[in-house]
Amino acid sequence: MVKLWRMLTASSTSQNSFCGPTVVLHRPQIPQNTGNVARLCVALQSPLVVTGRAAFSFEERQVRRAGLDHWEYLEFKHYTRFKKFYEAYAQRRIVAVTKSASVSALEFGYLPEDVLLFGNETMGLPPSLLRRIEHKVSLPMSGKVRSLNLSNCVAVVAYAYVAKVFPHAMHEENKYPRTYFSRKKIGTDEN
């Protein structure tokens, strides 16, 4: 655990540098969601792992398009069987995100080595898989909805992790400047 913590913090060149959690999608079904999650993972320097059979090819245009031009920076692994993933990550704490959990993902005590596990868009995580996982969290919902969009859930939980593990994390303005364009002022010759 100490070795992993050193690895996560060793690449930090300033107090604003941080690494996000390992994000795992189990049998994702919608390519655009996976593309959005991939882009988030690049932004947070989070590895993305897919377990089981995805309902699409990772070469599909929708996946690539949703991730825009960030795919080359993504640390990505695919395990065709959950068992292989589970064995490979046996030394790390796996935190399942499921609506059946009684602990809020916003208040959970995340650790630097945590792996966040998300189910697919229509069925979530299978009960047989959830029985293997000790730590489970959910996002609070009070409105009349059955569930939230997968990529939205990943974003909320990943940032909750960052807030707990790296409470002073900020966007490095000098390293990655904002991309706002300047508007032409009305009534002037400025571009």
- When pLDDT is averaged across residues 15-32 and rounded to a whole number, the result is 86
Residue 70 pLDDT: 75
**b/e for 132-154, b at 16 or more Cβ within 10 A?**
ebebbbbbeeeeeeeeeebbebb
In the predicted model, what is the mean pLDDT of residues 47-55?
A: 93
pLDDT (0 to 100) of residue 31: 86
Structure confidence at residue 55 (pLDDT)? 84
For residue 77, pLDDT over 50 is answered with yes
What are the extents of the domains in the chain? Answer: 18-165
Contact 113, 4 (CB under 8 A): yes
Res. 68 pLDDT band, cuts 50 70 90: low
pLDDT attached to residue 171: 60
The pTM of this model reads 0.80
pLDDT tens-digit map of 114-173: 999 999 999 999 999 999 999 999 999 999 988 899 999 999 999 999 999 998 876 666
pLDDT tens digits, residue range 100-115? 999 999 999 999 999 9
Domain 18-165 has CATH 3.40.1280.10: yes
Say what the pLDDT of residue 13 is.
39
Mean pLDDT of 50-79: 78
Rounded to whole angstroms, how far apart are CA atoms 190 and 185? 6
**Taking 90 as the threshold, does the pLDDT of residue 35 lie above it?**
no
Tell me the sheet residues that pair with 118: 25, 97
Indicate if the pLDDT at residue 22 is higher than 90.
Answer: yes
* pLDDT > 70 fraction of the chain, expressed in percent and rounded: 74
